[in-house]
Amino acid sequence: MTQRILLLSGYDAASHRRWREQLVTLLPGYHWQTLALPPRFFQWRIRGNPVSWLDEPCLQESWDLVIATSMVDLATLRGLHPSLANTPCLLYMHENQFAFPVSDQQWGRVEPQMVNLYSALAADAVVFNSTWNRDSFLQGVEGFLNKMPDAVPDGVMEKLRERSSVLPVPIEDRLFIDQPRPVNRACPHLLWNHRWEYDKGPDRLLALLEQLTERAMPFRISVVGEGFRSRPEAFDRIHRLYSGHIEHWGFLERRADYDRLLGRADIVLTTALHDFQGLAMLEAMAAGCLPLAPDRLAYREYVPPQCRYASVESDPAAEARAAADRLARLLEQPPVAEPPNPWRASRLAPRYQALIEQLMSKGQ
């Protein structure tokens, strides 16, 4: 009999949707059933998804494994549906609420942090998409519990560490090129391919472009990624000040168009203050781009040291100077592009299958 897996995505953002669809495609030997909620109304989603799914018939069925994303309130869900109480559960952490920077417009994150903590304690295994994600979660939980006045039991951190592991979101094999391509050293095509939000550092991108202009360094740039109704003012300034340098501006609806852009760019860059794995960077590196990234976050796990610039979070201008210096050195003597082969889907699929089989065997 085909084993049955229930896949739950509580806030089905683009990266979450891509991961779950890819997982189903990579492991077709199981019967998959998916429940997903739209990526809007964050505060309601992360706390209210068990209510939204309260009357879902499939939650009354028998499953061999439940896989839930980090936005799912897994503890409450298992409490409301006794049929899931003894079903093995895997929690996949695309991000963690302890490491998110908070803008002036956002509320405090205690409730979302508690959802992450309860879900991790309710899961049989907690899997993170990067070592940085795992470590920042564990550090955040430890700091959070240390602030509590009393009644924190011993051994919580040990339990979480024991059930935590790292297994990245895979990069499709089709994106990897066979031969590295030369970099246009005279006028490089820069690619900034991230969400158009404050935490991706658009003000730092603007500061970098100002540095390149001051130094009379020629460049072309494509600024792409998912935009929203409100966006940081830095984007408008970049578009106004550097229109003559822009190759492409805005979101690309068709995946094929985006893939072609990856194949034309020379250097993929990030200025992000938060990135739990960095799919956009990994995709572009697979497609042959040289990376340029700050020396922080998950970038240390796959961006070579010679492609990382000094991280100066407290001083965007100093960080922009460091990024411009690093770019100049890369163009002076470009290193051979190193594709992120350990992140290939074909290499990660067996690891996903082994973990799934191990968890399902516990429920038998």
- Over residues 2-51, the pLDDT tens digits come to 999 999 999 999 899 999 999 999 999 999 999 999 999 999 999 999 99
Pair 163, 129: CB distance under 8 Å: no
Residue 101 has what pLDDT? 64
Q: 182 versus 100: which is more confidently predicted?
A: 182
Of the listed ranges 10-14, 318-322, 359-363, the least confidently predicted one is 359-363
The yes-or-no verdict on residue 63 having pLDDT over 50 is yes
Average pLDDT score over residue span 126-134: 98
Residue 102 has what pLDDT? 58
Distance CA 2, CA 359 (A): 16
Distance CA 261, CA 303 (A): 20
Residue 105 has what pLDDT? 44
Spatial neighbors of 33 by CB under 8 A, at least 6 apart, are 4, 5, 6, 7, 58, 63
Report how far Cα 164 is from the mean position of its chain's Cα atoms.
Answer: 17
Average pLDDT score over residue span 186-201: 96
Q: Which amino acid is at 112?
A: P
Average pLDDT score over residue span 300-322: 97
Average pLDDT score over residue span 347-360: 97
Residue 227 has what pLDDT? 81
Residue 285 has what pLDDT? 97
Per-residue pLDDT band for 104 (boundaries 50, 70, 90) equals: very low
Residue 315 has what pLDDT? 97
* pTM (global) more than 0.85: yes
Average pLDDT score over residue span 330-343: 94
Distance CA 326, CA 332 (A): 10
Average pLDDT score over residue span 231-242: 95
Residue 228 has what pLDDT? 75
Residue 230 has what pLDDT? 81
Distance CA 150, CA 14 (A): 40
